[in-house]
Amino acid sequence: MTLPVVVPDPALPSRVTIWEVGPRDGLQNESMVLDTAIKVEFVERLVQAGLGVVEVTSFVRPDRVPQLADAREVMAGIARRDDVRYPVLVPNLRGLESAIDAGVSDIAIFASATESFAQRNLGRGCDAQWEMFEPVTTRARAEGLRVRGYLSMCFGDPWEGVVSAEQVVTAALSLQELGCDAISLGDTIGVATPGQVGDLVRRIASAGVRLDAIGVHFHDTYGQALANTLAALREGVTTVDSSAGGLGGCPYAQAATGNLATEDLVYMLDGLGIEHGVDLAALIDTTHWLEDHLGRPSPSRVVRARTPQKEQ
């Protein structure tokens, strides 16, 4: 197996937490609905590959995201480890109650930086979304759960165009005020560029959000996901969302393509000498296994480079 040449950069973090979203964000946009047992094995394979955070599923209405309708069964089927976090997405109090019943310790809520996407994804505007999330975060924190806030459309919106940094900062502060322990900045349609990423991270940090609470979530629509990740790391961000095999998209933003592939991220981090704890070979094996179940090859460039015969 070809390994990257390691040249550390002292300006970058020494360790990065990879927030694996494949089982949730990756599978939710697939047309094929996988069996529960396959989803459970997918999660457990990712954990065995060394991922310490694996976002498992979403407790949403089955008619909204039928691919994740078996959230309860998947959570019940996982042999959970004490050293691994298994967050789930919840849209409202009903979803939170189901997640609590499933014994979760981490939840995430999904907010929007733009009015258009808030209306399409949540059925309400930007201001009204905070009213919907407040009882969710209050109850979750009362239960001792960690709460992450996803913030979508941070760099561009298919209906509104370029998103101003000011409105993203305002939304990020609203999530912090709600009690979110962490905030993930999402490039939902993959239009961001490195300079824009660095500028936004600096603005949010200057506004009072701790750097160690900021994560980044890039889609690779224009091939900028890795470059944008590096830009975020240079600003001190240490949590990066990615999806095994580059799976993913957004069912309510058709311009969104796959997430940053975890394999591609790991290869870059290895070359920079940044610790992350993931076994790249085991991760590639997991993606090969999933390819067989999905019936198509992974868009991950590292997976393709390591398996040229699978492309023929």
| 243, 23 contact by CB (below 8 A) | no
CB-facing half-sphere around the CA of 69: CA atoms within 13 A:
10
Copy the structure tokens of residue 237. 């961000």
| 184, 219 contact by CB (below 8 A) | no
Domains defined for the chain, CATH in brackets: 17-311 (3.20.20.70)
Other beta carbons less than 10 A from residue 284's beta carbon: 24
* End-to-end Cα distance, the chain: 20
* Whether residue 126 lies in the annotated active site: no
Whether the predicted pLDDT of 236 surpasses 70: yes
pLDDT of 140-151, one tens digit each? 999 999 999 999
65 versus 151: which is more confidently predicted? 151
Evaluate the CA torsion angle 252, 253, 257, 258 in order and state its sign.
negative
Q: What is the pTM of this model?
A: 0.95
pLDDT of res. 308: 62
Copy the structure tokens of residue 231. 């830009």
